[in-house]
Amino acid sequence: MSVASSQRQVYLRLLAPLRLRWHRELDLPAQIQRLLAGERAFGSRDRRLYRELIYTTLRYLPWVEPWLDRDPDRAAKIVAWLAAETRDTAAYRAAHCADWPVVNSLADRTAFLEADSSALLPAWFRDECPEAFAPAELEAQLARAPLWLRLQTDDHDAVAAEFASKGWRVQPSALLPSAWRVRDEADVTQSAAYTGGSVEIQDLGSQLVLESVGPKPGGRWLDACAGAGGKSLQLARLLGPDGRVEAHDIRRGALAELKLRAARAGIGNVSTTTRPSTGDYDGVLVDAPCSGSGTWRRAPHLKWATTPKLVASRAALQQELLARFAGGVRPGGLLVYATCSLCQQENAAVVSAFLASHADFAPTPFASTFGFAPGPAGLTILPARHETDGFFVAALLRR
């Protein structure tokens, strides 16, 4: 048996335990990680190859799944053809699909396979975000998510010099000079820039959430659902040394990680708490737990495990959190609501319901919209325009 044939059999074997889970389990990436780690014969290149094949399967599941029982070798060939061309997949792809055409667009892939591109997103999602079914957005949803960094130092040249010495190409965003896209396969966590706190891994869309609001330097803010603190650290940089960020979360482990990240970066104007004070903040950020539909390009399993019932339950929680933390905003201060969801039920509907019962809050203009058109309730950041994940943000002024 050739190497490529053996690899195909391993790929199909790895899929078997995942097939029982990929329509229902939100933690599938952790299971994939354990599955690959448990293969003692694998080297790092093997793990990267099979990870790419598995994630390609999940991206294009409706095109692949019907063939897994009918003709598993054809299913494997389809996945090889659809997988990204990397140094780890190149030989495998050449061995399996060299006789198929090289195409660069979703329209051409759809035509060659005589498939339905709209099936690559859940049918129920069309009512939540019809814009996602436009050709450019579908194309973005099916591409590998880019690696974006946020610089936490003013010495960009030092970071650039280290990355250049490692052969890592970077491209600063035209929107934010401190946002860099890494163009090569790179483990940035092994760089001195990362371990020294000069860079954080943060999607550009996530960075645009706060940048769209434009917090004024020197304010006192609460990050009400801080988690491990990506936006807390960004907010601390935006507020400057005279500003203060109080990062709140009910998960002590997440706050402990935030403290480590802040210390690594030398950011001293962030504190953590599981019990925030009651009021008088210049701004409160409610980056609420959500369905994560804006992250489907990097977490494609969520397309098939997320249900309308889950979206509705997240929306109920979001309304509760927004109402709970709104009281902490001083008159004249900002309440910022954000999700990494593209579901209107979790976004515009939550904000509209909140405004209907809180007459002392009203939408306020964004500092920047980055080419997107705000709706009455807020701003939706779609993935295709700037190669990002999807986000929603609303800026509400307390009168």
Is residue 378 scored above 90 in pLDDT? Answer: yes
The residue-averaged pLDDT of 181-210 equals 96
- Choosing from 97, 129, 290, 340, the catalytic residue is 340
Together in a domain, 275 and 393: yes
The residue-averaged pLDDT of 347-370 equals 98
* The amino acid at 339: T
* The pLDDT value given to residue 116: 97
* The pLDDT value given to residue 277: 77
* The pLDDT value given to residue 275: 86
Residue 228: band (very low, low, confident or very high) from pLDDT cuts 50, 70, 90: confident
% of the chain beyond a pLDDT of 70: 100
Residue 274: band (very low, low, confident or very high) from pLDDT cuts 50, 70, 90: confident
Backbone angles phi, psi at 253, to 5 degrees: -65, -40
Residue 211: band (very low, low, confident or very high) from pLDDT cuts 50, 70, 90: very high
Look-up of token digits 């780890």: 88
* The pLDDT value given to residue 318: 98
Q: In this structure, is residue 279 part of a structural domain?
A: yes
pTM, entire model:
0.95
Give per-residue pLDDT as tens, 138-176.
999 999 999 999 999 999 999 999 999 999 999 999 999
Residue 1: band (very low, low, confident or very high) from pLDDT cuts 50, 70, 90: confident
Is residue 270 scored above 90 in pLDDT? Answer: yes
Domain boundary pick from 186, 201, 216: 201
CATH number, domain with residue 174: 3.30.70.1170
Residues 396 and 334 sit within 8 Å (Cβ to Cβ): yes
Alpha helix (H) residue ranges in the chain: 3-19, 28-37, 44-59, 61-70, 72-82, 90-97, 106-113, 125-128, 135-141, 156-165, 192-195, 204-213, 230-239, 252-265, 301-305, 308-326, 348-357, 383-386
Together in a domain, 193 and 226: no
* The pLDDT value given to residue 315: 98
Q: What is the DSSP letter of 284?
A: E
The residue-averaged pLDDT of 261-268 equals 94
Together in a domain, 219 and 262: yes
Q: In this structure, is residue 128 part of a structural domain?
A: no
Together in a domain, 154 and 211: no
Together in a domain, 209 and 354: yes
> Three-state DSSP class for 28?
helix
Distance CA 241, CA 250 (A): 26
* The amino acid at 303: K
Handedness of CA 305, 311, 312, 317 (dihedral sign): positive
| Residues facing residue 181 across a β-bridge | 148, 171
Q: In this structure, is residue 43 part of a structural domain?
A: yes
Together in a domain, 350 and 374: yes
Together in a domain, 224 and 373: yes
Name which of 321, 390, 329, 315 is nearest 362 in CA terms.
329
Domain boundary pick from 180, 201, 222: 201
The residue-averaged pLDDT of 358-375 equals 98
Q: Is 340 a catalytic residue?
A: yes
Is residue 114 scored above 90 in pLDDT? Answer: yes
How many domains is the chain partitioned into structurally? 3
* The pLDDT value given to residue 36: 96
Together in a domain, 62 and 157: no
- Domain containing 50: what range? 3-120
Domain boundary pick from 162, 179, 201: 201
Together in a domain, 329 and 249: yes
The residue-averaged pLDDT of 277-305 equals 95
The tokens of 369 are what? Answer: 């919209």
* The pLDDT value given to residue 276: 84
The tokens of 80 are what? Answer: 């090889």
Together in a domain, 194 and 209: no
Distance CA 202, CA 162 (A): 19
Is residue 278 scored above 90 in pLDDT? Answer: no
Together in a domain, 209 and 170: no
The residue-averaged pLDDT of 241-265 equals 93
Together in a domain, 187 and 208: no
Give per-residue pLDDT as tens, 24-73.
999 999 999 999 999 999 999 999 999 999 999 999 999 999 999 999 99
How many other C-beta atoms can be found within 10 angstroms of the C-beta atom of residue 2?
A: 8
* The pLDDT value given to residue 355: 98
